[in-house]
Structure 1
């Protein structure tokens, strides 16, 4: 098992924990609203913050684990060599998108760092700091997938 495999596994587990925590928070919000007649003020923003985090972490893991949706019909019409080139090109584009997340996610987090989420009492930047982090991981995982594709070409058939 490679470092990338372990890292992606940790990201998937973190995403699953985030989903579980969000589900518990929303459950508490519903219970509070309908049973206690008093919904907690922090629950909606906390659930939204968790959702942003687990979606970005899981999407970064998806680049390495290859569990993103894709249409293989076009790929299957190509020869194996052309298919490998297409997949490398796709991963170059994904790596570039990761760098876009890094640059613009950092700018977004910096732009909102002065704003406070009133119900949580924390900086709004906490909602967005995961974007550049996920962007770096997406770029690194894409480059790792390119390396895997290039090594496939070197193996004797």
Structure 2
């Protein structure tokens, strides 16, 4: 795989890590405000939820690219290499279709909610859902990249010979 996609998925993972750290800090501040200052900030919960939506969907797209998502390989391990390749092709095609559904229906959700405001943040509710279509497009692109490589998830013979 080329250098740009690798840097792109690394960027998404780093952005996800920063989002997780920021969300943790916001929730920590909210707890401090509630129990120490006796005045919890009204924006903290919505801000942390917004951050979580953003970093989870981009981490999911990076997971498709880097293939660190959960999968069960018991059946793949017992079939012939030709069948294994067909199975992997089918799996990546299904993941691309899932990305397509995120892109299409996520875009509709963004369009339907763009005019609504998150009161405590002053942001469009559509902005909160924007990661759905964006990550959907990335999932499609990353799945296509795996499909174009021919053996989309690596080769178990290579892994077995490395042991």
Whether TM exceeds 0.5 here: the answer is: yes
TM-score band, normalised by shorter chain: over 0.9
Which residue of 1 is the match for residue 16 of structure 2? Answer: 15
Q: How high is the TM-score relative to the length of structure 1? A: 0.93
Query: Which string of whole-angstrom CA distances, capped at 9 and with x for unpartnered residues, describes residues 85-135 of structure 1?
Result: 111110001011111111000000000011110100111011001110000
Structure 1: segments with no counterpart, 5+ residues: none
Report SS of the residue matched to 2:114. Answer: coil
- Which runs of 5 or more residues in structure 2 are unaligned? 156-163
Q: Give the distance between the partners of 1:4 and 1:85, measured in 2 at CA.
A: 24
- Residue 68 of structure 2 corresponds to residue 67 of structure 1: yes
Give the number of aligned pairs: 153
* TM-score of the two chains, using structure 2 as the length reference: 0.90
Matched residue, 2:161: none
Give the Å deviation of 1:6. Answer: 1.0
- Partners of 1:148 and 1:127 in 2: how far apart? 34
Matched residue of 2:115: which SS? coil
* Aligned-CA RMSD value: 1.5
Give the aligned partner of residue 26 of structure 2: 25
Cα deviations by residue, 1:18-65 (Å, 9 ceiling, x for unpaired): 100000000000000011011000000000000000000000000010
- Distance in 1, Cα, partners of 2:77 & 2:9: 27
